Structure 1
């Protein structure tokens, strides 16, 4: 079985879509673990209703508002299955997502594979990012630093619970965001991640109040979290232009951190 892990904060208005996509799965060999990050809307009431009617197990955890990355840590620490599929609370899964992953796990199982990665599509099923045509195989072992520029869009990861336990997100005082790629990179140092060039199991919608739409503001508010990522990324990038961009971002983080401390 697999654990579908969702961190949520004031997303009662989108959670039903995710729940309905889970209820439509062609394979129910999964549990849904939801970590409520201190929501002030009716998220908990909604989840309680899901638990009463659901045909699959739902576990609800609650923490004081600390950010999505800490909520992921909380969910990983909870007793769960060997593999964890991370799904945001404003997104959904394709009906065959669990079945596709379990088939791939059986077909491509190897001791040194610690993660599987799929493409994302919009809610209408259109692939997000670049269409890959000049490859011989449907999948490849890659590093996240290579996969990001290749695909040009957000990706859907399934990781071994053991590596997520080994590499928890760091907590920074007075900040509530750390880029996920910081941890995905560290995980790739421990083992291989298999990327599927064309398969998508994840459906998403970018909201006006989401992280993607508010990057610069999040950078200003969370310079230590972003700074930890860009500092490591400088050494990981092989492309000189991307290395320079990461260096500029890191300098911005240092300046924002200095400015924030002066304000406090």
Structure 2
């Protein structure tokens, strides 16, 4: 069996209408040494038939797995556990990619001499009109942490890149994601906070490697549903992970610190978590969190959240 350089991992739930867009952009890549691993998260539409039509074209190697619905967070990790190539990419089921995206990312990650210290290379995304999503990276790119990228350099916008499999799988083996099964939307940051805060580096490059599509009317899009319903559990976990992972480093960013404590408390309240448990779950900021709690309740009441 051929061993590919890159595995494209795509979690998908009822996205038969958008998967052809991904397929077309993958077919047109200048870099060909990859396979596509589609993790179907319990789709009830005709996804399997669409994927079968792709496979019958025999243009790219495609592995397809159907699973009971577990939500994207779990499905992505289950896919990554199947990866045997040196590198992989998490490709959403509704985006597309410039034809040189894989070539750019492969060349960039291959140029990292000390890969054990790194987990990924992150490039830029662009809207359909060619404008950059958010900001470019400073200093024409840099090696460092996601935290510094977001809070020291204030870079905003969705980014996209390639991961080093051996680093990612090593870290994932120490992360118990089974506790999030059937918990709805969980932000990927719940995992990447744990390694980014420990000094595992990312290389940030100012090269466009993804086309970002705004499917505002797609009811199955995570981007359109993650702020509501049972997904609020994941939002609570995201804030908590951020606070517990970065700890005392956050004192240098007081606005970020307070915003995340209030966010954690607000979504904890929505999930019927009492003040004692809210404080207990924090590894830092227990006194500050106690002080802010009445203000959070007032904020929630005034904003009818």
Normalising by structure 1, we get a TM-score of: 0.88
Cα pair distance change 1:19/1:245, threshold 3 Å: same
| 1:72–1:26 distance in 2 versus 1, CA, 3 Å | same
Q: Distance in 1 between matches of 2:199 and 2:79?
A: 21
Deviations, residues 104-159 of structure 1 (Å, cap 9, x unaligned): 12323323122111111113332100245xx44x2212221222353210111322
Task: Give the structure 2 partner of residue 222 of structure 1.
Answer: 231
Q: Does 1:55 align with 2:69?
A: no
- SS of 2:52's equivalent in the other structure is helix
Tell me whether 114-123 or 39-48 shows the greater mean CA deviation: 114-123
1:89 is displaced (CA, Å) by 0.2
- Higher Cα radius of gyration: 2
Does residue 232 of structure 1 match 2:237?
no
Match of 1:262 in 2: none
Aligned to 1:204: 212
Measured in 2, the distance between the counterparts of 1:48 and 1:162 equals 30
Contact 1:206 1:213 in 2 (8 A): no
Whole-Å Cα distance in 2 between the matches of residues 183 and 225 of structure 1? 12
Q: Note the C-alpha offset of 1:55.
A: 2.2
Q: Which residue of 1 aligns with 2:281?
A: none
Match of 2:162 among 147, 151, 158: 158
| Structure 2 residue 148 is the aligned partner of structure 1 residue 146 | yes
Residue 6 of structure 1 contacts residue 34 of structure 1 at CA under 8 Å; is this kept in 2?
Answer: yes
Deviations 1:169-205 (A, max 9, x none): 4543541221112222223226211111x21111111
Q: Secondary structure at the match of 1:151?
A: coil
- After superposition, where does 1:43-122 map in structure 2 within 5 Å? 43-111=47-115, 112-122=117-127
Q: CA deviation at 1:255?
A: 1.1
State the distance in 2 between where 1:171 and 1:61 align: 22
- The whole-number CA distance in structure 1 between the counterparts of 2:178 and 2:191 is 9
Query: 2:133 aligned to 128, 141, 144, which one?
Result: 128
In the alignment, does 2:263 pair up with 1:249? Answer: yes
Q: Are residue 180 (structure 1) and residue 180 (structure 2) matched?
A: no
| Whole-angstrom CA distance in 2 between matches of 1:92 and 1:142 | 27
CA distance in 2: counterparts of 1:231 and 1:20, whole angstroms: 39
Q: RMSD of aligned C-alpha atoms?
A: 2.0
Output the CA distance in 1 between the equivalents of 2:184 and 2:84. Answer: 25
Q: Which runs of 5+ in 1 are unaligned?
A: 260-264
Q: Is the 8 A contact 1:70 1:171 kept in 2?
A: no
Unaligned runs of 5+ in 2: 274-305
Report the more deviating stretch, 51-60 or 171-180. Answer: 171-180
What is the rounded CA distance, in whole Å, between the counterparts of 1:156 and 1:243 in structure 2? 26
Q: Deviation digits for residues 17-40 of structure 1, max 9, x if unmatched? A: 100000000010111111000011
1:33, 1:58 within 8 Å by CA — same for their partners in 2? yes
How many residues matched?
A: 253
TM-score if structure 2 supplies the norm length? 0.77
